[in-house]
Structure 1
Amino acid sequence: MASVSAVGPEDFADILAQTREFIRKEVVPREQEIADTDSIPEDIRKNAAAMGLFGYAIPQEWSGLGLDLTQDVQLAMEFGYTALSLRSMFGTNNGIAGQVLVGFGTDEQKAQWLEGIASGEVVASFALTEPGAGSNPAGLRTKAMRDGDDWVINGEKRFITNAPLADLFVVFARTRSADENGTGIAVFLVPANTPGVAVSPKDRKMGQEGAWTADVHFTDVRVPRSALVGGSEDVGYRAAMTSLARGRVHIAALAVGTAQRVLDESVTYAATATQGGAPIGDFQLVQAMIADIASGVMAGRAMVREVAERYVSGEDRRIGPSAVKLYCTEMAGRAADLGVQIHGGTGYMRDVPVERIYRDVRLLRLYEGTSEIQRLIIGGGLVNAAKRAAASGGR
């Protein structure tokens, strides 16, 4: 079923223009501050919340802006232009955590949580990844057991974005072994202050300073029956796969925005830095590197827009999202590497944007499904479709 955005073209053009101005004028000049303090300044957070950025993908019924994915990706390309930690601040509210509630929550669950999520008063965190289960949720070990009218959750989650700041954990847990009735994976809404929830110190990462992740431990965490998302034990796997597929298109757009920033930084540097009295941009091998970055950006932007349109129409919500995430995140990694090369020794120095970007983009090929997982989804999906067609006598 197609999803129709509640925001018309003119209104969205205003939202996009305001977002771009916010990024370029308020956030870009303070990127070094974000990196040095490993945090997003409170005034930037407040301004983002006032603009509705904590709920841009939450339906207007729940006080969000109600953008569909074709509009989401245009914002994401703007978010990618600056420190990626800015987007992480509200990314889980709009994306993998918030969309679980939007798509699968009961009316009561939506009424309880979505307005707070949209306003930024509630930080929602998507607790799926575990030490032994990353890109494939089928390997989950966290367990939820019935105890009267309650559920009791035990397990450990790893690399959970916004965990140190979270008010609500969207927790995936196994209620039974997979059988003919379903995967046995459920998803629960667990307030962060629930007894038995413990968040470890934030992780020390290669990059993306200001985006906090941490392990989360659940020890005999008791939640009521009403915490079971959708009221069903078998919603979890479908909710995870649906949220991740949508998120992959968003991450691809983010990567395009980052590659655009690399391109702009590299062109500016090439036009002004000199070797032997001439701008290095006059050298053909430097021009070739710039051409490779620019071509990747243009291809990625076109691919993101097409995949988002096919996702919204319902035409493709599996192969396309994996393909666009694979291409765009790999492309952004190559762009960052070339950006450092164009800058030469300067590009290896801290406080230079392309050096930070080089570290930041490495994560894009890992989270919300590694590049290897995307290749398996794409290749396996196409082969299986061909098998089904052959079995039915078609081509």
Structure 2
Amino acid sequence: MIPRTLFKPEHEEFRRMVKRFIEQEVMPHHERWESQQHVDRELWNRAGELGLLCLTIPEEYGGIGADRVYSTVLMEEQSYAGATGPGFSVHSDIVANYICNFGTGAQKRDWLPKMASGEAVGAVAMSEPGTGSDLQSITTRAEKDGDDYIINGSKIFITNGYLADIVVVVAKTGDSGEGAKDSSLILVEANRDGFSKANPLQKIGMKAQDTCELYFDNVRVPQSNLLGEVEGQGFIQLMRELSWERLIIAILSVSAARAALENTLEYTRDRKVFGQAVSSYQNSRFKLAEMKTEIEIGQVFVDRCIEEVLENRLAPEAAAAAKLWTSELLCRVVDEGLQLHGGYGYMLEYPIAKAYIDSRAGRIYGGTNEIMKELIARSL
């Protein structure tokens, strides 16, 4: 198969450190985190101590100023291990980016060092109970009152929401009737009066990742919490970052598919049926060959998209295609892998079973795959 050329020796050294961290600090606790529906707060502090948070943020704000290949390494290793609990990519590669790219000097100084150290956990609040992927139809509103905003509304499906200390909130600040021109991004601290969190949502998969609903009841924040300093820039800011966010899902998906294949290969080589290894039957070999081929094809496309990110020219439709293809691929690979496990594939003690319930969300979050098809179609 085609060798990957993205990674330099320093990336591979970082990978070895990440792998040790996941083996020692994450996986021994993951089952317990699934029961409590969120990771321990101390995990964030430990990740910060080791320099695993906010990797691409400039050193002056607490990061290490690394390229996004380092972020890719961290995401891949989490995905290979099935460590779906830690919401590091949302915190480091989405929330921190919004603050770093659009925030004022004061906002960056206030929050980025705390996020890099793990002292503060970040979340982004887009989806609402009645809007789903339609971000232009949000109803959460921020009304001016003197030098403040007063925010009312609710958000749902918020990753890191339960432990969040700072939330980037998408809110309406205008009345033009044109959704794209009426939204803004506003920083809301979790200790503000009127801001509350529900208990983590009961999900069918990804149970260790804290996901909850957030409520804003006359939450007062200073207008200086506006990201970008000018109202009505929210949708533009979202669009600038969404391509990378969707590629994150693609990176996680193709890595999880590779892990599912490896787990299936190991099982089918060891498992005997009628005196032969399951992997020795032609049907098994052909299924495994198909899975391997599709994963390699997907990996090449994702790696090319990462190269485009490094050159600041990833097209939105390419990111949408990567997210669409790899999240669908992951579900196919996991389903085939589970089938080759037979009855044991339905047992949660096997990684393929957990992958089966964890993988389904990829076709929904980051914009449903139906939305991805619409975005791709618009570019035709």
What band does the TM-score fall into relative to the shorter chain?
over 0.9
- The amino acid that maps onto 1:256 is V
In structure 1, distance between residues paired with 2:277 and 2:25: 31
Cα distance per residue 1:91-134 (max 9 Å; x no partner):
22212222111111111111111111111110011011101222
Q: Does 1:258 align with 2:222?
A: no
Q: Check 1:338–1:324 CA distance in 2 against 1; reply closer, same or farther (3 A cut).
A: same
The residue identity in structure 2 corresponding to 1:379 is A
For 1:54 and 1:299, the matched residues in 2 are separated by 30
Counterparts of residues 76-225 of structure 1 (less than 5 Å)? 76-88=75-87, 90-178=88-176, 183-225=181-223
Determine the C-alpha separation between the residues in 1 that align with 2:261 and 2:272. Answer: 18
SS state at 1:219 partner:
strand
2:354 maps to which residue?
A: 356
TM-score, normalization: structure 2? 0.92
Greater mean deviation of Cα atoms: 286-295 or 260-269: 286-295
Match of 2:363 in 1: 365
Query: Does the 8 Å contact 1:32/1:351 carry over to 2?
Result: no
Asked if the contact 2:85/2:207 (under 8 Å) is kept, the reply is no
Task: Say whether the 8 Å CA contact 1:142–1:154 is kept in structure 2.
Answer: yes
With normalisation by structure 1, the TM-score equals: 0.89
Matched, 1:328 2:322: no
After superposition, residues 214-363 of structure 1 pair within 5 angstroms as 214-363=212-361
Deviation per residue, 1:327-358 (Å, 9 max, x gap) = 11111111111111010000001221100010
Provide the secondary structure at the position in 2 that maps to 1:61: helix
Distance 2:194 2:258 in 1: 44
Change (3 A) 1:247 1:238: same
Query: 2:30–2:83: 8 Å Cα contact kept in structure 1?
Result: no
Query: Offset at 1:45?
Result: 4.5
Counterpart position of 1:388: none
Question: C-alpha displacement at 1:31, in angstroms?
Answer: 4.2
What is the one-letter code of the residue matched to 2:340? I
* Aligned-partner Cα distance in 2 for 1:86–1:245: 23
CA–CA distance in structure 1, aligned partners of residues 175 and 162 of structure 2: 31
Code of the residue aligned with 2:56 in structure 1: it is: A
Deviations 1:208-265 (A, max 9, x none): 1210111111111111111111111122112222222211111111111111111111
Identify the residue that residue 16 of structure 2 maps to in structure 1.
17
* Equivalent residue letter for 1:259: A
Contact 1:262–1:336 under 8 Å retained in 2: yes
| Residue 199 (structure 1) shift | 0.9
Shift of 1:294: 1.2
Structure 1 residue 36, shift from structure 2 partner: 4.3
Cα offsets for 1:253-311 (capped at 9, x unmatched): 11111111111110000100000111111011111221122122212221111011112
Q: Gapped runs of 5+ residues in structure 1?
A: 1-7, 384-395
State the alpha-carbon separation in 1 of the partners of residues 149 and 30 from structure 2: 43
The number of residues matched between the two structures is 374
Q: Distance in 1 between matches of 2:176 and 2:286?
A: 52
What amino acid does structure 2 have at the position aligned with 1:22?
F
Identical amino acids, percent of aligned pairs = 32
Distance 1:180 1:194, change over 3 A: closer
Given the superposition, is the C-alpha separation of residues 31 and 152 from structure 1 closer, same or farther in structure 2, using an over 3 Å criterion?
closer
Structure 2 residue 74 is matched with structure 1 residue 75: yes
Corresponding residue number in structure 2 for 1:49: 48
Distance in 1 between the 2:215 and 2:83 partners?
26
Partner of 1:387: none
Partners of 1:104 and 1:230 within 8 A in 2: yes
1:135-166 Cα shifts (integer Å, max 9, x gaps): 23111111111111111111110111111111
What is the RMSD of the two structures over their aligned residues, measured on CA atoms? 2.1
Structure-1 separation of matches of 2:219 and 2:43: 34
